[in-house]
């Protein structure tokens, strides 16, 4: 049976309509004058693509989204095809960019994953890699928080993260893991070449077997009273340190 995804929120739906309108089967818009005015450009995009649009109440949208903040619009689309380790390695081999990849070790909070994807897309990352088990996948919440990044940036779910890191090393990438007890700071590690940045789970950090796959371990210097950062904040700091070192401009 074909699986459909529900995508909600203005930015997520816009990215969906821009990137794969042909997969969109239905759009629901809140039947209120304020919503119609605010969403008029999205309505026009959907109608131009020949997508059925249905107006409904705020309560119907609330029920459809599980009470999440949908901003008055929800779309239903065929589930996007997922990438695995083999397609990731093909992506790396065929890219004409200096690869920057974010790997997340068992990050389970979908809000954190969505925020990580948003930062990774903004930093020009090639992909985000996560384990298939005991980690968040691409949910409606992730898409909403990612604010459109989930439609442009591949999320690669792999069976064995350690094995995938080893495969990326064999493909010429250097793996840097974030660890609070590391001797080197993030700003002392060379991130200018082909790089994988690995961020650990909320509260637990990197698993031992993942640490052993890293070429380098680095910490983010903490100058205040807190001992660690939220996973998505840490990911953003690391990604944009790589951007800074590479001297890239938007």
Element at 37 (helix H, strand E): helix 33-38
pLDDT average, residue stretch 217-237: 90
Nearest CA to 83 out of 133, 132, 171, 154 is that of 154
The mean pLDDT value for 97-103 works out to 96
Single out the residue of 70, 44, 41 nearest to residue 56, CA to CA. Answer: 70
Q: Count the neighbouring beta carbons within 10 Å of the beta carbon of residue 246.
A: 16
Q: Model's pTM, two decimal places?
A: 0.81
Helix axis angle, 85-94 to 161-170, nearest 10°: 20
* 198 phi/psi in degrees, rounded to 5: -115, 120
**How far apart, in whole angstroms, are the C-alpha atoms of residue 44 and residue 114?**
27
Q: What is the pLDDT of residues 42-98, one digit of tens each?
A: 888 888 889 999 898 888 888 887 777 788 888 888 776 668 899 999 999 999 999
Q: Would you place residue 234 in the very low, low, confident or very high pLDDT band (cuts 50, 70, 90)?
A: very high
100 — pLDDT class (breaks 50, 70, 90): very high
Per-residue model confidence (pLDDT) at position 2 = 45
Q: Identify the bridge partners of residue 30 per DSSP, sorted by sequence position.
A: 56
**Mean pLDDT of all residues in 188-194:** 97
pLDDT of 3 higher than 70: no
Domains 4-78 and 85-246 share a fold: no
- Using DSSP, state whether 50 is helix, strand or coil: coil
- The domain at 4-78 falls in which architecture? 2-Layer Sandwich (3.30)
Domain ranges of the chain: 4-78, 85-246
Per-residue pLDDT, averaged over 142-153, amounts to: 83
Homologous superfamily in CATH for domain 85-246:
SPOUT methyltransferase, trefoil knot domain (3.40.1280.10)
């Amino acid at each position: 049976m074909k699986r459909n995804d529900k995508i909600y929120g203005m930015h997520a739906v816009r990215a969906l309509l821009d990137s794969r309108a042909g997969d969109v089967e239905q759009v629901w818009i809140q039947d209120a004058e304020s919503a119609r005015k605010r969403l008029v450009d999205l309505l026009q995009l959907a109608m131009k693509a020949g997508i059925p649009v249905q107006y409904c109440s705020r309560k119907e949208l609330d029920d459809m989204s599980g009470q999440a903040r949908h901003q008055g619009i929800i779309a239903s689309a065929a589930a996007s095809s997922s990438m695995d380790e083999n397609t990731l390695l093909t992506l790396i081999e065929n890219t004409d960019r200096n690869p920057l990849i974010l790997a997340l070790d068992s990050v389970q909070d979908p809000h954190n994953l969505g925020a990580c994807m948003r930062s990774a897309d903004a930093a020009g990352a090639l992909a985000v890699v996560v384990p298939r088990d005991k980690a968040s996948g691409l949910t409606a919440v992730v898409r909403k928080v990612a604010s459109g990044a989930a439609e442009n940036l591949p999320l690669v779910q792999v069976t064995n993260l350690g094995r995938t890191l080893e495969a990326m090393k064999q493909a010429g990438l250097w793996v840097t893991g974030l660890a609070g007890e590391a001797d080197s700071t993030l700003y002392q590690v060379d991130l200018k070449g082909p790089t994988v940045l690995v961020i650990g789970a909320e509260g637990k950090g990197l698993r031992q077997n993942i640490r052993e796959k890293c070429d380098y371990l680095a910490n983010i210097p903490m100058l205040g009273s807190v001992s660690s950062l939220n996973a998505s904040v840490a990911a953003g700091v690391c990604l944009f340190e790589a951007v800074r070192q590479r001297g890239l401009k938007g």
